[in-house]
Amino acid sequence: MDNLESSIKALIIETLNLEDMGVEEIETDAPLFVDGLGLDSIDALELGVAIKKKYNVSIKAEDSKVQSHFSSVKSLAEFIRSNVSDTGGGINGTSRTSF
């Protein structure tokens, strides 16, 4: 498991208050919704806001691929990697902007 995937797992736990769960319990390729972690649309919204704050990457609800971006930790990591600007960083867990 790479650092970004571990960071996303920790963000999921922190954002959604899954205090009884550890990073190692979230499978990188497992679905985040329904049969997997069991997240719902409110969880996705909260997680989207947390991703924006931590990585300065927006996942737009009208994006036709939004469901695939949230399908697993792995897909979220791939989306973040492909959308983080080469200037200013942000992928290491620090945001480029202040909120």
Number of domains in the chain: 1
Axis-axis angle for helices 3-15, 73-83 (nearest 10):
110
Answer with the residue of higher pLDDT: 28 or 61: 28
CATH classification of the domain holding 73: 1.10.1200.10
With a cut of 90, say whether residue 3 has pLDDT above it: yes
Domain hosting 33: range is 3-83
Answer with the residue of higher pLDDT: 86 or 80: 80
Residues 3-30: what's their mean pLDDT? 95
Residues 5-28: what's their mean pLDDT? 95
Q: Give domain status of residue 8, yes or no.
A: yes
Residues 9-17: what's their mean pLDDT? 97
pLDDT score for 85: 64
pTM: 0.80
CA-to-CA dists, residue 46 to 26, 39, 63, 94, angstroms: 18, 11, 17, 18
